[in-house]
Every structure is written in C-alpha cells, then in structure tokens.
Structure 1
Amino acid sequence: MSTPPTLTGSPTTGPGASARTGRGRPPRLDRARTIETALVLLGEGGLDALTMRRLADAMGVQAGALYRYFATKEDLLTAMAERMTADACAPAQAGAGADWSARLPDLARSLRLALLAHRDGARVFAGTHSTGPNTLGFADAGIGTLRDAGFDGPVAVRALMAVVNFTVGHTLEEQAALHPDGPGPADPGRLRDAVTAGDYSHLTATLPTLTSSDFAAHFEFGLKVLVAGLRTLR
C-alpha cells in the first residue's frame, strides 16, 4: 500500500494544502485524498478520535462539505476499509497454481497484515460491507480458490466467511492487546496468581500457552483448524 500523507508541516504543506490555494476560493475536495487523510488521523488518534469534524479541519473545509462523498461516518469507514484491503488479494492471485489449503491461509494472512498496518484497522473493517474492487476482488479470490478445489458454491462462500470472521476477530483482540494506548497485554503474573490460587488444574498445566502473547502462533493454529475442518467437507 502507498504511504498516507502526513499532517505535519506548514499550512501550505499538509494534506489540505492544495485545497487552500487560490486566494480564498472554497477548498476542492478529492475523495481519495480525503480517505488517505482519514487514515492518517486514524493512525494518530485511533478510531474513537476520528470524527467528521476533525477530518474536515484537517482537509481545510467545513464539515458539511464531506457529505458530498460520505453521507455518514459509516460510509467513510467503509471507504477506509476498502482502501486498507488494496493488496489483500495479491497472495491468492499470485499463488494461483498452489493447493487451496495453502492459498486460503495466505489470503487470511494478507488480510490480517493489511489490518495490522493501520491502528484500529480491524475495528474499522468490522461491520463494513464494501462493494469496491478491493473487497470484491478479495472475496472472489477466496471463493474461487475453494470452488477450483471442488467445493460447491454455498460451502465456498460460508468457508470464506468463516475465515474472514476468524481473521477479523483475532486481529481485533490482537490490536486491542498490543497497541501502546490500549490496555496492553494481559498481565501473565496476575493470571498465573488467579489460576494457581484456585482449583484449575487444566489451566495450571497450560499456563505458558494461556499467557503467551505470540499472536502469530495463535493465528496460525486457528488457520490449521479451519483448513482441517474444511477437508472433511470435500
């Protein structure tokens, strides 16, 4: 993905600079630049701090001007999610000759990385229903991977939904735990003390895994379970 513009610098160098030129003329909006600016603001303050008013200020326009492109904040988030997934279907397309059991996990990994590349990326993506080319291309690649492997249409669709839901849910937890402004990883000592103080023999025996913050390992295990389950449906 391309690097979003920064918001630093003088009034003539920020993302709204070109809109401010022209001796006081009304700033000219550009949909793509507005989305890029929203992603910059997301990185700076997170999703909770991203408002239409703050975005308008960064663009050098009145808040109402944004509604030309985005009727609601949900519309903006959908456009941001579409932008985030710009490269998410590349692995599946590049590995067209590989077995489905390798291509499908690669697709899930690419989505996870695309969301991790942006602060609160999974929160932005969750619940959006983009019909843009990136999202549709991702879905088409995933369903096509499964149909080409012999899965029927309904199974292919539901399998991709399961993989996407797992990926987004996992990444939500990962970002919530690891972002410096978030609650941080669970305190392993606190969990260990709580477990060992009670009668939880199975938790005690598996504490190293329970307290691990190796999210990549947790993610890979989940993918293996999903692929193994799908093998039984062929």
Structure 2
Amino acid sequence: MGTRVAQPLDRATVLREAFALLDERGFSGLSLRSLADRLGVQAPAFYWHFSSKAELLGHMSAAIYRDARTAVQPCDDWTTWLITYGRALRQRFSSQPGAARICAIAQPLEGEVSITAASIAEPLTQHSVAEELALDAIAAVTSLAIGWSAYEPQGTMRSYLEDLMDFDESFEVGLDALIAGFKAKRGAVHRGSRRSTSERADGRGARGVRILP
C-alpha cells in the first residue's frame, strides 16, 4: 500500500489501521513506522495516543478479546458461553493469524489491573459459577484458542497436518473436553461445599472430628 494523505488521528483510527496493516503484512510487518507511512504522518504523531509499540499491541489485544466477548450472545448456561467464546476467538485467530501472536505477547496495559476480576468473570458468575473457577475456565479456553492457532499454519506444514487431523473437529473435541473438566470440577466443589456445610452444622469435620468449641 502507498502512503496515504495525512488525516486527523484518534485512537480508534490508529487501531483500525493497525489491524488493516496486520492483515496486509502480517505480524512481522506491523511497526510504528509502517503504520505512520500508511496514515501519512510521522511516527511521533502516535505518541499522543500510544507511547510505544508495546502499548499499541496491548490495546490491540484488548480489542481482540472485547470483540470475542461481544460476539457471544446472551446464554442460559455458562458452558455455552465458554464454547461460543472459544469459537469466536478461534475464528478471529484463523482469519487474522497475527492476532493470536499479539494476544500471546501483549503486556497488560497500565491501569488494566483496575479491570476487576469480577468483571472478567461476570459472564460465568452470573450463572452461579465461583469467581476463581470462572477465571480459570476463561483463561484456559483463551489459551487453547491461542495455542491452537499454531496448528493452523499455511503451506507445506498445513498440508501435512491436514493428513493427520481435521482442524475444526479436533478443536471442538479439545474445547468440549476442556469445558467438561471444569464442569466436573464445579460439581465436585459443590458436593464438597454441601458436605462442609452439613459438617459445620453438626459441629464435626470431614472425619467426624469436632471443629467447633
């Protein structure tokens, strides 16, 4: 692509053009200089919006995750949300391979820690999943989608792998197995919680030992 005529910049414009550049040149071609050429500005113009490439990648990663979550329609079941979220991420990574690498290496943004665990876990906790388990499950599904993108290369390696597996089917099998594990863990936690409640009410521990004064 040639250099474009300079245009007023805002963060949304820079992000949009950064993703377009990623599509055209891949991750290795994504640089502030290339992005500046694309927009017809000098690289320092970005500093009003992104202080470094690391910050740009952080915002791109956040946008990828936000888009995936937005793609999930309201669900009646937490496992359905996880499945749909995992598929949305994988679809993004398949259609835009560099996106997976961005998510794998992007550093947390300054102030991102203020995004509470509760808000991240909310799609699952609203279905009565414990926050800690919800965070573990979302992280695991995200990691599966990122890692799976490594199995979907182009060229000779893809042809070789296609002789060994069906990419779509294998991903679905892995996703189902992963979520089934969290579903089983949640069931075990619930059973343990009910036992503990009963034992506390009786004043005894798991082995009949009194735990109350």
Q: Deviations over 1:153-200 (max 9, x none)?
A: 2111112111111111112432xx13x6xx641536xxxxxxxxxxxx
Aligned residue-pair number: 182
Of 47, 61, 64, which aligns to 2:41?
A: 61
Could you state the TM-score of these two structures normalised by the residue count of structure 1?
A: 0.66
The answer as to 2:164 corresponding to 1:185 is no
Structure 2: any 5+ residue segments left out of the alignment? 187-213
Of 8, 13, 18, which aligns to 1:38?
A: 18
Of 161, 164, 181, which aligns to 1:229?
A: 181
Higher gyration radius (CA):
2
Could you state the TM-score of these two structures normalised by the residue count of structure 2?
A: 0.72
RMSD between aligned residues: 2.9
TM superposition outliers: structure 1 runs of 4+ over 4 Å: 130-133
Contact between 2:6 and 2:40, CA under 8 Å: does it hold in 1? no
* Greater share of helix: 2
Q: Secondary structure at the match of 1:185?
A: helix
Structure 1: any 5+ residue segments left out of the alignment? 1-6, 20-27, 189-208
Partners of 2:110 and 2:171 in 1: how far apart?
A: 27
Q: Secondary structure at the match of 2:28?
A: helix
Contact between 1:101 and 1:227, CA under 8 Å: does it hold in 2? yes
Partners of 2:70 and 2:111 in 1: how far apart?
A: 16
The answer as to 2:52 corresponding to 1:79 is no
* Structure 2 partner of 1:47: 27
Identical positions, percent? 30
Q: CA shift at 1:145, angstroms?
A: 3.7
Q: CA shift at 1:51, angstroms?
A: 1.2
Q: How does 1:150-189 map onto structure 2 within 5 Å?
A: 150-174=128-152, 177-178=153-154, 184-185=157-158, 187=160
* Structure 1 partner of 2:87: 109
Partners of 1:148 and 1:104 in 2: how far apart?
A: 13
Aligned partner letter, 1:41 = L
Q: CA shift at 1:78, angstroms?
A: 1.7
